[in-house]
Amino acid sequence: MSWQFPYWTKKSSLRKLENKSLSMTTPWGGRLFYRETTGSTMDDAQVLEDRGEPDGSVAWAGEQSSGRGRFPGRIWHGQRERSLLFTVFWSPARFRVSTFAPSLVVGLGLCLWLENLGLPAGSIPSLKWPNDLYLAGRKAAGILVRQRWTASGPGAIHAGIGINLQPPSSDEGFRTSPASLAEFGRMMTPSQALEGLLPALAVALDHPDPRSACEARLWCLGQETELTLPEGTTVRGTVRGLDEAGRLFWEGSGTIEALSSGE
C-alpha cells in the first residue's frame, strides 16, 4: 500500500494538481494520509488504525472505486477532482455527548462548514436522517459510520465522508439526482474543502447539545414524507424530531415512535 505523508513531499501529484498544502496534523493531533486512487478510504483508515496511527488521523483519496454505503450493494462513486473522499477515526472520548448518534454529529459538522460558506438562499444544508446531507432537497454528501468493539469495550469510531464538490460526470449508480457545491456557486478543490471541513467537525464533536442542533437542521421536520425501513418497506409519515440518542421521532398511523434504522 502506497501512502504519502506528508502528502506534499516527494513531488506529490496532489500538489502538482492543486498547488496547495494543508497542515501536517488534524485538529485532534492525528495525521493526514493521501492516496491518488483507492478502493475504499474506510479500509485505508482501518489499516492506519491497526498500524498504530493516532486517533484523529485521516485517510484521504483522490478517487475511490468501491466506497461503501450503509446497506449491502450500495457504493459511493468518487470521481477525481469532483469529490472530497476521506475517512477519519476518533476515540469515542472525542465526542462530548457520547450517547448521541455519531453519524448525526458528523453531519452537523458538515452543516456548520457549509453554513459558514454562506450558501445562497434556498440552499440551506439539512440532515436527512440518519446519515445524508441535502442541499435544496437533493443529496450532496453521504456519511458512513462504523465502530469497532474490542474485548475491553468500544473502540474507535470511523466516519467515511463523500461530498460532491462538482456534479458527477454521470448519474449512474445514484438513486436520485445528486446535488453539488458547485451548483450553488461554491467552487473549491478537495484540499480546500478538507481544510475548511476538519475544524467544523471538531466544533461538532465538542457541541454541548448536538440533539437540538441536529434537530433544527433536520430535513422535512414537521412535514410528511416517505421512509424506507431496513427490510425494504416504504411507509409514509411525519418527521417529528430526534430523541437523546439520535433516533428519529416518526409519526405514522396516529402514533409516534422512535426509529433507530431506516432512510
Q: What pLDDT digit, counting tens, does each position of 176-231 carry?
A: 789 999 999 999 999 999 999 999 999 999 999 999 999 999 999 999 999 998 88
Lowest mean pLDDT of 19-23, 33-37, 190-194, name the range. 19-23
Determine the average pLDDT of the residues in 128-142.
Answer: 95
Residue 34 contacts residue 9 (beta carbons within 8 Å): no
Q: How confident is the model at residue 4 (pLDDT cuts 50, 70, 90)?
A: very low
Lowest mean pLDDT of 114-118, 133-137, 146-150, 246-250, name the range. 146-150
Pick the CATH number of 13-216 from 3.50.50.60, 3.20.20.150, 2.40.110.20, 3.30.930.10: 3.30.930.10
Q: How confident is the model at residue 75 (pLDDT cuts 50, 70, 90)?
A: low
Query: Does the pLDDT of residue 249 top 80, yes or no?
Result: yes
Query: Does the pLDDT of residue 112 top 60, yes or no?
Result: yes
| Residue 195 neighbours by CB distance under 10 Å | 15
Who wins on pLDDT, 240 or 7? 240
Angle, helix 190-205 to helix 102-117, in steps of 10 degrees: 120
Nearest residue to 63 (alpha-carbon basis) of 48, 84, 46, 33: 84
Radius of gyration of the chain (CA): 18
Q: How confident is the model at residue 42 (pLDDT cuts 50, 70, 90)?
A: very high
Per DSSP, the three-state class of 175 is: coil
Q: How far is it, in rounded angstroms, from Cα 66 to Cα 75?
A: 6
Q: Which cell numbers in the block locate residue 3? A: 501512502
Q: How far is it, in rounded angstroms, from Cα 166 to Cα 164?
A: 5
Residue 212 contacts residue 191 (beta carbons within 8 Å): no
Residue 15 contacts residue 32 (beta carbons within 8 Å): no
Residue at grid coordinates 475517512: 87
Who wins on pLDDT, 71 or 247? 247
Q: Which cell numbers in the block locate residue 220? A: 422535512
Q: How far is it, in rounded angstroms, from Cα 21 to Cα 216?
A: 35
Q: How confident is the model at residue 48 (pLDDT cuts 50, 70, 90)?
A: very high
Q: How far from 137 is each of 3, 62, 98, 126, 134, CA to CA, in Å?
A: 37, 27, 29, 8, 6
Residue at grid coordinates 405514522: 252
Q: What percent of the chain has pLDDT over 70?
A: 83
Distance linking the first and last C-alpha atoms of the chain: 35
Average pLDDT for the chain: 86
Query: Does the pLDDT of residue 20 top 70, yes or no?
Result: no
φ, ψ of residue 160 to 5 degrees: the values are -90, 130
